[in-house]
Amino acid sequence: MTAPRFPDHPTPLRKPGIILALLLAAGSAQAQVSIPIPNILAEVENYIKKRQPADAAALLDRVLIRADAGEAMPDGVDMDRIRLAAATNHFQTQNYPRSVEIITGLLAKNPQSSALAAEARMLMGLALALQNKYVEAIPVFAAAEVSPSYRDKAMLYGAMSAQQAGKIDEAIAAYTRLLSASPRDRDWADAALSLINLQLRTGQLPDARRGLSLLRTNLPLVDNLAGLNVLSLQLGDALTEAKDPAGALTAYRTVLFKKDIIAQQSRRNARIEADIKRIHDMTVGDATQMDAVRRLNGRLEQAKSAIGEIEKLENYDATLLFRLGNAFQLRGGAWEAALIFEEIIAKFPDSTEREQAYFGLVRAYADAGRLEKTNDAALRFQRIYPNSSFGAQALYLAAQAAGQRGDTAAQLQFLSIATDRYRDNVELREPMLLMQANALFSLARYSEVTGIVQNYLNDYPQGKFVEEAAYLSAMSTLADGEASAAAQAIKTYLDIYPQGKFVDDARYRMAATDYARQDFKSALERTKSWLADYPSEHPQRGEIYSLQGDVHSGLNETTEAIDSYQQALLLPLSDEQLGYVLDELTRLYQGERNSDAAVEMWETFARERPDHPFVINAAYWIGRLRSREGRVDEALDRVADIASRYVSDADRDSVERLLIEVASMLSKPPKGKRGEPKPEPQTLDQLFARVDQLLLTPATRDSATARARALFVKSEIAGFRKQPRIQKEYLDRIASSNAPDTLPPGILGKIGDHLLEKNEIDLARSFYTQIITAHSKSIFADYGYTGLGQIALIEGDGTEALRRFNDAIDKAGARFKLMDATIGQAQALLLLGRLDAAQNLFEQVASNRSWRGPATAESLYSLGEIMMKRGTPDDIAKAQAHFQRIYISYKRYVPWVAKAYLRSADAFEALGQNQESVNTLKEMLRDERLTNLPEAATARSRLVPLEAGLPASKGGNS
């Protein structure tokens, strides 16, 4: 910003003609010795009209000399005005000292007119300022502020003087007063810019930030946009430095890009020039307007200068974008940052910011949890800047992000590249090695953990993480099942680090190793001493009691075990541990044939922690325990009582598991009593009525969600009773009578699958979509992603399908649909022609014993198709083997068998083994289960030409 400019002419002069009209009154008779005063004044007026202020000033001085010499002035002549006119004309001739001298004299006489005094002060202040006597000008302008007419200008010039005098605090105070009191116009905006500039220079960043925010809402008033741009950049940098990313972002977002700032400033310059011209055209010689012109010219000059600077900066946009991206990133706007860094990379290939933008991009994607993008960006960065000094950091971040997302394979990939390529980066290699060891630990690759840790300890014997490495090594040995070796390693750790970070955990693990080695006595002693040595609020205390319970169990001390587990229940436990302790207690109570105690425990839990997810487990166990005792009705009532608390809440997704248990209990035929005829099972209608009675209480029956859940239980009962038609009918009823947004995710998933099976794709899509939009964190979310993936496959969109199936696994954890999602991924990859990746997944499915069934048959078939696509004789032979395996080993899956026979025949034919092809088709046609399938018709039509082409001797081979 350039320094403020003062007008070099008086601001508020009245028109000279008017002044002189006031000065001139009736003539006097003093002209005998000198020129009469009225004549002089008439001549003065003449000079002023002709714009000859020097001549006018000389004449007025003569009048003043005569007046000061005691000459009586004619009647009607106002000496105060004569003095002011003299000062004004001296000012116009730039004789500022004389102007100040005259006004000092005038003010010393305390002029009667306060308006005249204010006008004089303004003139004096300007005259002083134009002599660079800013310190003297400040109080003069301050005194002029009392005049309502000159207040705004006095404050403005006062602020400018203070600024020039280096009295920044005074300048800021004056600008602040001006901005709060004066109307919001273009002068106001200009003053605001000056104020922000001063606040920035003096480090008053919060005030500068507030000022900038205020200007942002008044942008049309700002003439000097280019100046605002520069200030905003400076403020943004200062706020970044001051660790205020939100403020920095606000500042940077005010900055326009080069093209925009040049265009907009050009328009504003044209507006200023037009204003100047308009004033020139409309008002010739009006001093107030000329003052306005002067200020406009000053502003125009500043704007042009700033825009000139911006035009010179070739890298302006890239620099601005980089600052913006960084500010977004620091403020948690990782998505916005990624967009910006991508823009720099794409649009500014030669900019110096590009390399750092790549690093920022990796960081932004990692922070946003966009794993695939992080991977992709990290790899692009490595490819384009293989030797970047930011490379190690980027890979470290990418590895961290992958770890947070649970993608340990990717994490290890990044760490492997980083530790290999940046061996010399000691600062990062150390934490990366430890991260690598942790990642391997989470993958249960314990022997590799030990190797990495050993390398670390060799390379960095005095490293920052030596203690962590030693302990991780011990834990790795323990997790690997080598209890004795682990005990030794933990003992070594405790010897070396008696006050170490992990001593409490180590002592607990020592007890655990004793327990693992069935040294229950030592384990018990260790748990007791641990409990004695650590305070009651230690977070691991519950865990120790749980282990102690295990130890007592191992010693067959059931009462003590129950006591320890009960102690554990009173302390903080993770959900996993809590579930374990509750289950162990249930098991022990059952062993003691004390169902009442187990039921009481679960009842207490459900009562004291009504919102805990395990309340559903409570209902499950209460129902099961009572049911085993033959108290089915009591069990159902209790389960229904708990279920009905949550049955109207669509977000409580675990209710569905309980409802399935209810359906199961209801569906079971009643047990007969000895000596009595077996009772008749209840009809479906009776069971359905019971469902309504149990679930649709007065409190719940108006809830659409509760009603849908009751229908769901009925459909499950029909399923248990092997009534698929009725089961589907009820699913249809749920779908037709409920909007997706009233349904819980478990039911949405079931309905979606049902509709998809019926080929009602759009309707199925709406149910799946509701799951992922409204219940994305539900345990049933994988139903939504998988269903949408299957729809995308049907629609031939491999990319979309792959994305959805990936989400089913990565985002939703694929609790229920892992197999479907994995097959879906493979199918999508096949559709996209990514044969190797598809093959890999199909092989995983085919080799998974727990998925053995239609999925295996489908995977084998697809593997055959992949081999056929590759088309070499060797591949076709492998394909043939896959197809053959289906109709030999997976005969139960008729549709796949039919397809496999046909493709097997194709493979033989492609290999030139037509006889084998014919044999295969004939074998297929002998299978009666396939007779009516379309594939059988295809086989028959294929046989004719095949047999016709064979030698007669082989044609009848069967």
Partner 1 sequence: MKLPRTLTAVLLTLIGGASSLCAQSYVLNNGTVLKASEVKLSGNALVQEIALPGGGSAERRYLLNTVARLSWPEPEEVGSAEAELAAGKNAEALATITPIYRIFGPFSKTPGSWWTQAASLRLQAMVASKASSSDISSAAREIMNSATDPEAVGNAKLALAQVDAREGRDSLASAMIDQIVNDAPSGVRARAWLLRGDLALKKQSFEAAIEAYLHVPAFFGTLDELMPSAILGSARAYKGYGDASRSERAYLDVIDTYPNTAEAQIAKNEAGF
Other beta carbons within 10 Å of 915: 16
110 lies in the binding site for partner 1 (CB under 8 A)? no
d(CA 96, CA 123): 10
Of the candidates 11, 254, 825, 862, which one interacts with partner 1 according to CB under 8 A?
A: 254
Question: Where does this chain touch partner 1 (CB under 8 A) — which range of 543-551, 554-562, 765-773, 882-890?
Answer: 765-773
Separation between Cα atoms, residue 210 and residue 216, nearest integer Å = 10
**Which window, 326-334, 547-555, 592-600, 710-718, contacts partner 1 (CB under 8 A)?**
326-334
Own/partner pairs, 273-280, CB within 8 angstroms, 24+ separation: 273/300, 276/300
Q: Which stretch binds partner 1 (CB under 8 A): 214-222, 492-500, 510-518, 691-699?
A: 214-222
Segment contacting partner 1 by CB under 8 A, of 265-273, 325-333, 646-654, 892-900 = 325-333
Query: What secondary structure, in 3-state letters, does 25-73 show?
Result: CCCCCCCCCCCCHHHHHHHHHHHHHCCCHHHHHHHHHHHHHHHHCCCCC
Contacting partner 1 (CB under 8 A), which of 777, 891, 926, 929? Answer: 777
CA distance 823 to 821: 5
Nearest distance in Å: CB 337, partner 1: 8
Identity of the residue, 286 or 732, whose beta carbon is nearer to partner 1 in the bound complex: 286
- Least distance from C-beta 393 to partner 1, angstroms? 23
Residue 773 in contact with partner 1, rule: CB under 8 A: yes
Asked if 310 interacts with partner 1 (CB under 8 A), we say no
Phi/psi at 522 (nearest 5 deg)?
Answer: -65, -40
Find, among 822, 798, 796, 826, the residue nearest to 808 by Cα. 822
Minimum CB separation from partner 1 for residue 203, in Å? 24
Could you tell me which residues come within 8 angstroms of residue 949 by beta carbon, excluding any fewer than 6 positions away?
A: 914
Q: Which is nearer to partner 1, 242 or 274 (CB)?
A: 274
CB burial string 797-834: b at 16+ within 10 A, e below: bbebbbbbbbbbbbbbebebbbbbbbbbbbbbbbbeee
CA nearest to 303, candidates 278, 266, 259, 263 = 266
Contacts of 431 (CB under 8 A, 6+ apart): 396, 464, 465
Q: How far apart are CA 286 and CA 283, in angstroms?
A: 6
Q: Applying CB under 8 A, does 620 fall inside the site for partner 1?
A: no
**Residue 813 interacts with partner 1 (CB under 8 A): yes or no:** no
Judged by CB, which is closer to partner 1: 256, or 640?
A: 256
Residue 506 makes CB contacts below 8 A (sequence gap 6+) with: 471, 474, 490, 493, 494, 500
Shortest distance (Å) from residue 188 CB to partner 1? 19
Nearer to partner 1, 49 or 259 (CB): 259
By the rule CB under 8 A, 605 interacts with partner 1: no
- The least distance separating partner 1 from the CB of residue 27, rounded to whole angstroms, comes to 41
307/717 with CB nearer partner 1 = 307
The answer to whether 324 contacts partner 1 (rule: CB under 8 A) is: yes
Is position 756 an interface residue for partner 1 (rule: CB under 8 A)? Answer: no
Which residue number, 622 or 763, has a Cβ lying nearer to partner 1?
A: 763
Closest separation between CB of residue 916 and partner 1, Å?
49
Residue (569 or 781) nearer to partner 1, CB: 781
Q: Which lies closer to partner 1 via its Cβ, residue 260 or residue 702?
A: 260
Q: Which two tokens stand for residue 388?
A: 């970047």
Q: How far is the CB of 225 from partner 1 (least distance, A)?
A: 10
Residue from 157, 252, 565, 783 in contact with partner 1 (CB under 8 A) = 252
Q: What is the DSSP string of 536-571?
A: TT-TTHHHHHHHHHHHHHHTT-HHHHHHHHHHHHTS
Per-residue tokens: 919: 């044999």
Q: Which of these segments, 51-59, 116-124, 771-779, 869-877, binds partner 1 (CB under 8 A)?
A: 771-779
Window 791-810: residues binding partner 1 (CB under 8 A) = 807
**Which of 47, 134, 316, 328: binder of partner 1 (CB under 8 A)?**
328
| Pair 577, 546: CB distance under 8 Å | yes
Nearer to partner 1, 120 or 324 (CB): 324
Instruction: Please say whether the dihedral angle defined by the alpha carbons of residues 276, 282, 285 and 288, taken in this order, is positive or negative.
Output: negative
What is the spatial distance between Cα 74 and Cα 61, in angstroms, rounded to a whole number? Answer: 17
Asked whether 143 and 121 are in contact (CB, 8 A), the reply is yes
| Per-residue contact string for residues 558-587; x = within reach of partner 1 by CB under 8 A | ------------------------------
| Chain residues 333-372 in contact with partner 1, contact rule CB under 8 A | 333, 335-336, 339-340, 343, 369
The rounded distance, in Å, linking the Cα atoms of 608 and 652 is: 18
Residue 180 CB, nearest approach to partner 1 (Å): 22
The correct pick among 203, 332, 481, 670 for binding partner 1 (CB under 8 A) is 332
Cα(194)–Cα(731) distance, integer angstroms: 71
Name the residues that contact partner 1, by CB under 8 A. 216-217, 219, 252-257, 260, 324, 328, 332-333, 335-336, 339-340, 343, 369, 769, 772-773, 776-777, 781, 788, 807, 811
